[in-house]
Amino acid sequence: MRSKSLIVLVAVVAVLGAFIYFFERHQPTSEERRERADRVFPDLDIDDVTTVELRNSHGEVRLVDDDGTWRLTDPVAYPADGAAVLGLLEAVAGLDADRVLPAADVDPAAYGLDDPDLELVLTDSGDRRYRLEVGGATPLSAKRAVRRGDESEIVLCAGDFVSRLDRPVDDWRSRAVVAVAESDLAALDIVAGSDHIRAERDDDRWWLTDPLTDLADRDQIRNLISELNGLQVSEFLPADADPAELGLDAPEFRVRLETADGGEPVTLELAAPADAAAATVVCRRNGDDLFRVPATIRGRLGKAPVLWRSATVWPISTWDVTAASFSDAGGDEIAVEKVDGTWRMADGSTADDAEVRRRLSRLAELEADDHDLARPPTEVLGRAIVTVGGDATPEEVGFTFYAPIEDGGHAAVEVSRRDDIMGIDAAVAEAIVGDVHSLRATAGDGTPSD
C-alpha cells in the first residue's frame, strides 16, 4: 500500500509541476495583477494581438501579424513599420483608467463620444476583441475620454497615447527598402547601363561570374548589402504613378538579390536622377512598390566592374592557419605546424614563432597590383602552402611566386584556388619565401634550437 501511495503522490507532484511549468509560469504575478487592475484593458496581452483595425483623422488602417511580421492590408498592401505597431500596442496596453464615469452621470456628446475622433479594435489569437472609442480632450486638462467595447460608462485617461494612433497611412509603412543578411543570399546581380556584375556566394566567399570569373571583393559586396539594408524610403509615391514619367522605363540601375532558400528574389530598379544635384531618386521594388530613396546609393552601384574583383590575392585569417610550408628558389623547404597555439617545425623542433607569423601576415595582406598576367618565363622565387581550418574542413591553398621580368618590376603570384596570375610587390614576395631557414628557431649562438 505504501508503494501505491508513493506512486500516486509522485504522479500528483508531476502533474502539479507540469501545470506550473506550462501554465502558471505564463500567468501574471500578484504584483502584475495589481498593476493591471487599473488599466483600461487589464487582460490585454500585446504578444497575442494578431490584428489592428484603426480609424483616425487620416482614414482607416488595418494591420495583420503575418507569422511575426506586421503588414498593412488596408488601405494598401505593404510591409508595416513594426516599431510603430509595437508603440501603439504598448501605449494601449499601458493605458490607465484614471477615472470611471457612470453612463447615467454624463452626456457622451460632451466628451466627443457621440461621434468619436478615433476608434481602435484589437483582435488576439483567441478571437478576443478589444474595442476602444476615443473622444476629444477634456476641458482644462490633457485627459481623454474613452469608451471600451459595448460599455456605456466613460473612462478618463492620460491623452498622450493619441499620438500613437492618429497617424497618416505612410507612417504605418516600413521605410526599410531591403532587409536581408549576407548569409541569406545566394547571388546578386547589378545592371548599370551596358555593365553587368554578377556574384555568387559559395560558403563564406563570393565569386564573380560576370563580367569575368574570379574571386569577388567581399568587402565591396558586404558594403553594398549593408548600404541596401540601411537604405530608407524618403517619400512614398502613388501606386498608380506612371513608371515612364518616373524614368523607370530605362532604369539607371537594376539590382537583384537572390536568396539561398530559393524564395522570391528582391529586385530594385532605380531611375536616373532628374539632375546631378538631386538628393533622391525614384526606386521600384519587386516591380510594384514605388518610392524615393537617397541618391547616395548610386555611388556604390556605379562602381566599375573591375572594382568588384578582389585585390586581395587570397583571403585568409592567420588565426585559422594550422600548418604551412615555405620553399625558396633553391628548393629548400621548411614545414611548420601549430601545436597548442605555438608554431613548431614539422619534425617537432622549435620554430621561430614570430617569423612564421610575420610571413603568414604578409600572405594575408598580399594585394594584387595587376591581374590576368601571362605566366612569366622567369625563375620561381619560391612557394608557400597553407592549411586553413580544422580537421573537419581543412583547406589547402598554394602560392607560387615568380621573379620579375625586369629589374624593379613586379613579381607575379599564382594561387591554386584562383584562375588568375597577379602582379605583386617583388619585395613582399621575397619576404614571404626568401631565406626559409630563418623560420627555424636558433639558440643565442645562432645554431638551430631543439
**Sheet-wide strand order for 380-388:** 342-345, 333-339, 321-328, 380-388, 395-402, 411-415, 421-424
Cα–Cα distance, 388 to 382 (Å, whole number): 20
Cβ-count burial of 138 within 10 angstroms (0-12 exposed, 13-18 middle, 19+ buried)? middle
Please report, in tens digits, the pLDDT of each residue of the chain (450 residues total). Answer: 456 666 656 565 565 565 555 544 444 444 444 454 588 999 999 999 999 999 999 999 999 999 999 999 999 999 999 999 999 999 999 999 998 988 888 888 888 898 898 999 999 999 999 999 999 887 767 888 999 988 889 999 999 999 999 999 999 999 999 999 999 999 999 999 899 999 999 988 999 999 999 999 999 999 999 999 999 999 999 989 999 999 999 999 999 999 999 899 999 999 999 888 899 999 999 999 999 999 999 999 999 998 999 999 999 999 999 999 999 999 999 999 999 989 999 888 999 999 999 999 999 999 999 999 999 999 999 999 999 986 667 899 999 999 999 988 999 999 999 999 999 999 999 999 999 999 998 754 445 555
- Given 172, 203, 230, which residue is the final one in a domain? 172
Out of 282, 308, 334, a domain closes at 308
Q: Is there a single domain that holds both residue 44 and residue 121?
A: yes
| Strands laid side by side in the 266-270 sheet | 214-215, 205-210, 195-202, 185-192, 253-259, 266-270, 280-285, 289-294, 235-236
Nearest alpha-carbon partner for 376 in 431, 439, 424: 424
Are 213 and 300 in the same domain?
yes
Q: Which residues pair with 243 in a beta bridge?
A: none
Q: 192: part of which helix (H) or strand (E)?
A: strand 185-192
The answer to whether residues 84 and 71 touch, using CB atoms and an 8 Å cutoff, is: no
Q: Are residues 146 and 245 in the same domain?
A: no
Does 23 fall in a domain? no
Q: Which three cell numbers stand for residue 200?
A: 555568387
Is the residue at 22 inside a domain?
A: no
Rounded Cα distance, 134 and 393, in Å: 63
Q: How many CB atoms lie within 10 A of CB 150?
A: 6
CATH number, domain at 42? Answer: 2.60.40
Closest CA to 402 of 370, 379, 436: 379
Residue 233: closest CA among 303, 284, 307, 160? 284
Residues 423 and 346 in one domain: yes
Q: Are residues 383 and 429 in the same domain?
A: yes
End-to-end CA distance of the chain: 76
Does the residue 1 lie in any domain? no
Give residue 53's domain range: 33-172
Based on the fold, state whether residues 79 and 124 are members of the same structural domain: yes
Structural domain count of the chain? 3
In a domain, 299, yes or no: yes
Helices 426-433 and 353-364, axial angle in degrees (round to 10): 140
Beta carbons of 192 and 301 less than 8 angstroms apart: yes
Residue whose grid cell is 505597431: 85
In a domain, 373, yes or no: yes
Same domain assignment for residues 242 and 356: no
**Is the domain of 260 the same as that of 139?**
no
Looking at the structure, tell me whether residues 377 and 265 fall in a common domain.
no
Verify that 433 and 329 share a domain, yes or no. yes
Residues 41 and 158 in one domain: yes
Position 14 in a domain: no
Q: Are residues 403 and 283 in the same domain?
A: no
* CB-side neighbour CA atoms (13 Å) of 392: 1
3-state secondary structure of 369: coil
Indicate whether 338 belongs to any domain: yes
User: Residue 111's closest CA among 137, 148, 92, 149?
Assistant: 137
Residue 126 forms part of a structural domain: yes
How does 194-214 read in b/e, with b if 16+ C-beta sit within 10 Å? eeebbbbbeeeebbbeeeeeb
Question: What's the pTM value of the predicted model, to 2 decimals?
Answer: 0.80
Residue type, 258: E
* DSSP single-letter state for residue 39: B
Which of 133, 149, 172 is where one domain is finished? 172
